[in-house]
Amino acid sequence: MSGSEGRFPKSLLEFQGRFATEGACAEYLFERRWPEGFVCPGCGGGRAWLLKTKAFTYECADCRRQTSVTAGTIMHASKLPLTMWFWAAFLMATHSNGISALQLQSQLSLGSYRTAWMLAAKLRRAMVNPEREPLSGLVEADETIIPFRTKNDPVVVPAGRSGVGKMLVAGAVEIDDGRPRRARLKVIEGFGKQELHAFVLGAVAPQTRLVTDDWPSYQDVPGVRHNAITLGPMAAHVALPWIHRLFSNLKRWGLGVYHGLRKTNLQHYLDEFVFRFNRRRTRHAAFDTLLGIGARTTPAPYRVLIRKAA
Ligand SMILES: [Zn+2]
């Protein structure tokens, strides 16, 4: 756990007090970025002054390069105040179920839905880490079907309604000492061998011990030690408890937060769910990741924390 974890606000009230002003947010960004003091990204120099003409921007005393505390974060060049970004990221990171654009709009008293939607979309995009490490050790994998709604469907979708289709999703959960650690979810086109092999190979490390039901598509994944369990009736949740719990939580989440998932951007919603699941015990890391802080600029122990949590 990083040294700054203990300093991160634990409650809404504490957060409000800590990040009440633009200056307080900028100070946090500065600390995360330059924990040992300012370092010019151009020449490596350590002397700089704060510009009076540009917000939270430092000019290097040696090479004169100007660097904003928001450079490299998703807040850079945004017209929204830093406090708004911080609030939105905090709500997104700490709500165990996440938050829709509509909820964000009302919680932050944003004037337009469009602004809230953009904010939520940008934060959600920050949830995918292309460098995340594959699952390993013992992994449960399975596939499921999720009903989706189209743009014009009502909030409550009656069963069998036209325009409502089904989406196929493959999932995997890493199990450590009988408890779930990290998960992966992916939209797939079918339950055939090609799709499921591609999913497994993209999600798990070589030599993973893969546990699935006896669906033939999981057989002979190269480089994986596979244990197929033949299921009796109603036994899937017993044989593969964690992936089944993940699927049922996903479906409940989709209905509860988004009133049903849409096919457009489904993978993004799956990524959001997985992001929150994988960081359920490291909300502080989730907050920083959402704002785009730390990927390149923080010291190694923090990067290690992120990698473990991803
Ligand atoms: Zn410089």
Q: How far apart are the CA of 203 and the centre of ligand 1, in A?
A: 41
Q: How far apart are the CA of 51 and the centre of ligand 1, in A?
A: 14
Q: How far apart are the CA of 85 and the centre of ligand 1, in A?
A: 28
Cα dist. 254→9, 21, 99, 133, 135 in Å?
A: 28, 34, 11, 26, 24
Residues 6+ apart with CB under 8 A from 90: 9, 12, 15, 19, 287
Q: How far apart are the CA of 296 and the centre of ligand 1, in A?
A: 18
Spatial separation of the C-alpha atoms in residues 249 and 129, rounded to whole Å: 22
Spatial separation of the C-alpha atoms in residues 139 and 225, rounded to whole Å: 10
Contact predicate 175/138, CB 8 Å: yes
Q: How far apart are the CA of 54 and the centre of ligand 1, in A?
A: 17
Q: Could you list the pLDDT tens digit for every one of the 310 residues in the chain? A: 444 445 678 788 899 999 999 999 999 999 888 989 999 999 999 999 999 988 899 999 999 999 999 988 889 888 899 999 999 999 888 877 778 888 899 989 999 999 999 898 888 888 877 667 899 999 999 999 987 766 665 545 455 444 457 889 999 999 999 899 999 999 999 999 999 999 999 999 999 999 998 888 999 998 888 888 877 665 677 789 999 999 999 998 888 777 777 777 788 888 888 988 888 888 788 888 888 886 433 333 333 333 444 4
Q: How far apart are the CA of 66 and the centre of ligand 1, in A?
A: 8
Q: How far apart are the CA of 136 and the centre of ligand 1, in A?
A: 43
Q: How far apart are the CA of 40 and the centre of ligand 1, in A?
A: 5
**What DSSP assignment string belongs to 219-270?**
TT-TT-EEEEE---TT-HHHHSHHHHHHHHHHHHHHHHHHSS-BSTTHHHHH
Q: How far apart are the CA of 67 and the centre of ligand 1, in A?
A: 9
pLDDT for res 244: 94
pLDDT for res 152: 62
Q: How far apart are the CA of 89 and the centre of ligand 1, in A?
A: 31
Q: How far apart are the CA of 68 and the centre of ligand 1, in A?
A: 13
Displacement of CA 51 from its chain's centroid (Å): 34
Residue 197: how many other CB atoms lie within 10 Å: 17
pLDDT for res 260: 77
Q: How far apart are the CA of 4 and the centre of ligand 1, in A?
A: 27
pLDDT for res 38: 93
pLDDT for res 95: 78
Q: How far apart are the CA of 46 and the centre of ligand 1, in A?
A: 8
Least Cα distance to 125 among 259, 307, 291 occurs for 291
Spatial separation of the C-alpha atoms in residues 289 and 90, rounded to whole Å: 11
Radius of gyration (C-alpha) of the chain in whole angstroms: 22
Spatial separation of the C-alpha atoms in residues 269 and 66, rounded to whole Å: 37
Spatial separation of the C-alpha atoms in residues 180 and 182, rounded to whole Å: 6
Q: How far apart are the CA of 131 and the centre of ligand 1, in A?
A: 29
Spatial separation of the C-alpha atoms in residues 199 and 172, rounded to whole Å: 9
Strands (E), 54-137: 57-60, 66-68
Q: How far apart are the CA of 294 and the centre of ligand 1, in A?
A: 20
pLDDT for res 308: 41
Strands (E), 264-307: none
Q: How far apart are the CA of 15 and the centre of ligand 1, in A?
A: 34
DSSP label of 172? E
Residues 6+ apart with CB under 8 A from 246: 171, 173, 180, 183, 185, 277
Q: How far apart are the CA of 43 and the centre of ligand 1, in A?
A: 4
Residues 6+ apart with CB under 8 A from 96: 276, 280
Q: How far apart are the CA of 64 and the centre of ligand 1, in A?
A: 6
What is the pTM (predicted TM-score) of this model?
A: 0.76
Contact predicate 287/8, CB 8 Å: yes
Q: Which two tokens stand for residue 258?
A: 């988004």
Encoded amino acid at 256, one letter: G
Q: How far apart are the CA of 129 and the centre of ligand 1, in A?
A: 30
167 DSSP β-pair partners: 146
